[in-house]
C-alpha cells in the first residue's frame, strides 16, 4: 500500500492513524518500504510515523549518528509528539538509543530490532568497485535468513545508492560513526520499558548483541525469532507485530498495586 508523504518545513514523513505516536526509524540502507507491514497493522491502533531520515542530505561534517539524532529531536519537537513509542531498526535503533539518552522526556517506550550501538558487521566496511551488481545482491541477501526476501526492487535500491560516489562516502561516514559511537557504558541510564526483537539468524548484529542490550538496559525484555535475519519487521512481519502489539498494550495497562 502506498502512503502519502507529508511535509512540514524540511521534514518529510508518513503519518497514519490515531493514538499514541509509534515513530519508526529506518536503517542505513532502509526506507519507508521496510515498514509497510508494520504501518498497515498498527495504523489501526496508533499514530504511526515514519520520518524520512536525511542519510544523504546532511553535510559531511554532520553525517553521523549524532547528526541524525538531532534531526529526529527537531522532528519530534516540530510535530509536538508526546508519549512516543520509538522504534529503530539497525542504524535507526542506534539513533533511537542516542535520542532516548539525550531527550528521554517525551519517550514512553523504546523498541529495538537488529540495532547497532554495541557491535555490528557493517556493509560500510568494504566496497567493491562501483557497478558490481552481483556483489550488492549477495550483500543485500545477507541481511535476511531467506535470500528471497531481498527482492529485485530492494537490491536495485541498494545498488543505486552504492553506485553514487557521494552517497557511498556518506554511507561509510555513517558506518564509521556508528562504530565509534559505542553506547555500552550509557545504556544503564535508560529508564523506559524497552522491547528487543531479534532475528536468531542475524549476522549483522548477531544474537549475542541482543543479549548484551538485554543485560545493559535495566527495564528490557528480549524476544528471538527463529529463521529470521537482521530485519524481522520485513522478514516475519506477522510474528513481529504480535510481539510488538502485546508490548504496547502492556504500556497502557494500569499499574498493579501490591
Distance CA 169, CA 183 (A): 24
Residue 220 lies in a domain: yes
In a domain, 191, yes or no: yes
Domain total of the chain:
1
Question: Band of the pLDDT at 128, cuts 50, 70, 90?
Answer: very low
Q: Is 257 contained in some domain?
A: no
Domain of residue 113, CATH code? 3.40.50.1820
pLDDT at 60 over 80: yes
Q: Which one is predicted more confidently, 32 or 100?
A: 100
| Structural domain span for residue 183 | 6-251
Q: Is 1 domain-assigned?
A: no
pLDDT at 26 over 90: yes
Q: What is the mean pLDDT of residues 67-78?
A: 98
Q: Tell whether the model's pLDDT for residue 254 goes beyond 90.
A: no
Residue 120: predicted pLDDT = 75
Q: Is residue 258 part of a domain?
A: no
Q: Identify the three-state secondary structure at position 186.
A: coil
Mean pLDDT value of segment 124-131: 54
Beta bridge mates, 110: 86, 194
- Per-position b or e across 241-254, b if 16+ CB within 10 A of its CB: bebbeebbeeeeee
In a domain, 87, yes or no: yes
Amino acid at each position: 500500500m502506498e502512503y502519502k508523504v507529508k511535509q512540514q518545513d524540511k521534514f518529510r514523513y508518513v503519518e497514519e492513524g490515531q493514538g499514541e505516536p509509534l515513530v519508526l526509524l529506518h536503517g542505513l540502507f532502509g526506507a519507508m518500504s521496510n515498514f509497510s507491514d508494520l504501518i498497515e497493522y498498527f495504523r489501526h491502533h496508533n499514530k504511526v510515523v515514519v520520518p524520512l531520515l536525511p542519510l544523504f542530505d546532511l553535510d559531511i561534517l554532520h553525517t553521523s549518528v549524532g547528526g541524525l539524532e538531532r534531526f529526529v529531536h527537531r522532528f519530534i519537537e516540530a510535530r509536538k509528539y508526546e508519549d512516543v513509542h520509538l522504534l529503530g531498526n539497525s542504524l535507526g535503533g542506534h539513533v533511537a538509543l542516542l535520542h532516548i539518552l539525550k531527550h528521554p522526556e517525551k519517550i514512553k517506550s523504546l523498541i529495538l530490532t537488529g540495532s547497532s550501538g554495541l557491535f555490528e558487521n557493517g556493509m560500510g566496511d568494504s566496497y567493491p568497485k562501483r557497478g558490481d551488481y552481483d556483489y550488492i545482491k549477495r550483500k543485500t541477501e545477507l541481511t535476511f535468513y531467506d535470500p528471497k526476501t531481498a527482492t529485485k526492487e530492494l537490491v536495485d535500491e541498494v545498488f543505486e545508492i552504492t553506485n553514487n560516489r557521494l552517497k557511498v562516502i556518506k554511507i561509510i561516514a555513517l558506518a564509521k560513526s556508528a562504530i565509534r559511537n559505542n553506547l555500552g557504558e550509557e545504556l544503564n541510564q535508560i529508564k523506559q520499558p524497552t522491547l528487543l526483537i531479534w532475528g536468531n539468524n542475524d549476522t549483522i548484529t548477531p544474537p549475542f548483541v541482543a543479549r548484551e542490550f538485554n543485560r545493559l538496559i535495566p527495564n528490557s525484555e528480549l524476544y528471538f525469532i527463529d529463521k529470521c535475519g537482521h530485519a524481522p519487521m520485513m522478514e516475519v512481519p506477522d510474528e513481529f507485530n504480535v510481539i510488538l502489539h502485546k508490548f504496547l498494550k502492556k504500556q497502557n495497562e494500569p499499574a498493579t498495586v501490591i
